[in-house]
Every structure is written in structure tokens, then in C-alpha cells.
Amino acid sequence: MKHLLKLLDLSKEEITLILDTADKLKAEQKAGKKHDFPAGKTLAMIFEKNSTRTRVSFETGIFQLGGHGIFLSNADSQLGRGESIADTARVLSRYNDCIMIRTFGQDGVEELAKYASIPVINALTDFEHPCQLLADLMTIREHKGKLEGLKAVWIGDGNNVANSMIAGCLKCGMDVSVACPEGYRPDKKILDFAAGVTDCKFELTDDPKIAAKNADVIFTDVWASMGQEGETEKRKIAFAGYCVDSELMALANTGCMVQHCLPAHKGEEISEEVFEKHAQEIFDEAENRLHVQKGIMYLLMK
């Protein structure tokens, strides 16, 4: 594995290696043990969109590995004044050991990886959010003891997190059911991948009640992602009936988990009651961003 650009690129073995490495680093950190990682590595962190979790977990993660993170936003880097991704990639490659980028188009991440001579990590594009799903898979494995054979359900917008959820869960041997309104379905490349999977089930419906039946884990996310703020009101109408509430949870298996990448809009995609009932799992998920990204950086930089 040279970069982490999208889960669609990864094999089940590569995903498992990242999760195993994350588990090991988490156990070492909890035991107060030093990680076996070369000191002084630097991570350039490009943010073209807002972030709380991703910024703090990457910056904390590289620090805990004995290195240093450098925050670059559009507001204060030359990217914001039009310097190309190709030139930025070649410059940062002369100073740093790895680049993390949060941007709009997936082509931006792919372009960065094409010109960089160091590993590149996708920290969210409009197409995928691979670090999020790896943290979610880690959390599910911690709570359920396995991934294979579980039923994972997506309720709501077929967005970047949904794309990664479908690719990641199917690759890990989970059955996947997705409920989205027409017009808000996951990306065609993801649906084509899902259609070719033969060893687990994939279902796409516009009825949340059909999808939620016998779920072992239900995922949801905001109805309007970053960059779609202008569609907020239109989306509230399109997604009416797509709230993960106690009525929907009653259709799932006993012990069904809830995963939400956060930030959450309670009362929209998830009820306050379901959120609070599953807060332990949701904040474990947020914590595991740190451990899984340390695992990714460990594997890419060591």
C-alpha cells in the first residue's frame, strides 16, 4: 500500500492489516508503551473544508508517533491563491514524509498522489471518506468481535461516507443494505462494485424499513454535506422519513449498533433518543479515528 486514496482500491487483507495495526497501537497507547516508530516524521495536513475530528486526530496521532503535523488551510496557503496541486505535491514532498488532504473532488487527491513522492492520505473528498470507515470497522469489530456475516445498513444520503461504507463493509464480508431517496443514491462506481460482489448480499431500496430489518449496525450521516449548504431546505424535504429513530431501530436485531461519523444534526438524520442511547458506540467511533489513522500512518511511513 503506497497511499490511502479510497477504500475501493484496498483489498480485504490491506483493510485487516490497518485494523490490526490500529488495535496494536491503541493497546500500546492505553498501556503507556512507546510506539516502535522512527522519530521526527512530519505530516502536511491540507484542509480545503472544515474539520474538528480529522484535524485533531491526525495532529494528535502524528505527535503520539513521535512526529509533527503541519496544518495548511486554504486561507493561509498558496493553494487558496491558485497554486496547482501538482506543484504543491512536489514541494511538500521535499519537506515532509506524508501528506493528508481534505478536499472536494476525488481527482484532487489522485492528482496529489500522482505528483507526490511521499504517501498521500484521503481525509475526505466528495467521493469517499476512507479514514472514517476504517474507524467504524475498527469500532464494530471491537463491539461485535467480528465483521464477517454481520448486516450493515445505511439510512439517508448516498454521500461520501455511504460510498466508503458500501466498499468497506462489502470488502470485509458484511451484507449491506442501503436506503436512499431516488436522486440521492451512492456513486455509480460504488454501485457497480457492489453489483460485482458475489460472497455477500447488497440491497438498494428507497424504504428505510426494508433496509433496517435484521440490521447489526445502522449508519447514518447529515443530509447536506460540506459544499451542499445551499441545498439544505430541499434536502430536508427529500429526506423526510429517513430519520434513524426508535421505531426504525425496533426493526433491527437485538444489540444493533449505531455509527455516525459526526457532526450530527439531531432531529434530522438521527433522533436525540437513538443518538444518546448509542452515544458510547458513536464516541468510541470518534476515538478510533485517532488509532486507525495512526495505523495508516505507521504502515505508510515506517
Which residues are marked as active site? 102, 129, 132, 221, 261, 289
User: Residue 279: how many CB atoms within 10 A of its CB?
Assistant: 12
Say how far apart CA 163 and CA 133 lie, in whole Å: 10
Residue 91 touches which of ligand NVA, ligand CP, none (CB < 5 to 8 A by kind)? Answer: none
Angle (CA) 218-224-226 rounded to 5° is: 110
Residues 101-130, one symbol each (x = binds ligand CP by CB under 6 A, - = not), give: -----------------------x------
Residue 52 touches which of ligand CP, ligand NVA, none (CB < 5 to 8 A by kind)? Answer: ligand CP
Nearer to ligand CP, 99 or 204 (CB): 99
Say how far apart CA 42 and CA 95 lie, in whole Å: 8
Q: How far is the CB of 229 from ligand NVA (least distance, A)?
A: 10
User: Residue 250: how many CB atoms within 10 A of its CB?
Assistant: 9
| Binds ligand NVA (CB under 6 A): choice among 159, 163, 164, 259 | 159
Q: How far is the CB of 222 from ligand NVA (least distance, A)?
A: 6
| Binds ligand CP (CB under 6 A): choice among 16, 29, 51, 253 | 51
Nearer to ligand NVA, 106 or 225 (CB): 225
Say how far apart CA 123 and CA 53 lie, in whole Å: 10
Classify burial at 40, counting beta carbons within 10 Å of its beta carbon; exposed 0-12, middle 13-18, buried 19 or more. Answer: exposed
Classify burial at 11, counting beta carbons within 10 Å of its beta carbon; exposed 0-12, middle 13-18, buried 19 or more. Answer: exposed
Say how far apart CA 272 and CA 258 lie, in whole Å: 13
Q: Does 260 contact ligand CP by CB under 6 A? A: no
Q: Does 74 contact ligand CP by CB under 6 A? A: no
Which residue's beta carbon is nearest to the bound ligand CP?
54
The residues that touch ligand NVA, with contacts defined as CB under 6 A, are: 124, 159-161, 221-222, 225-226, 261
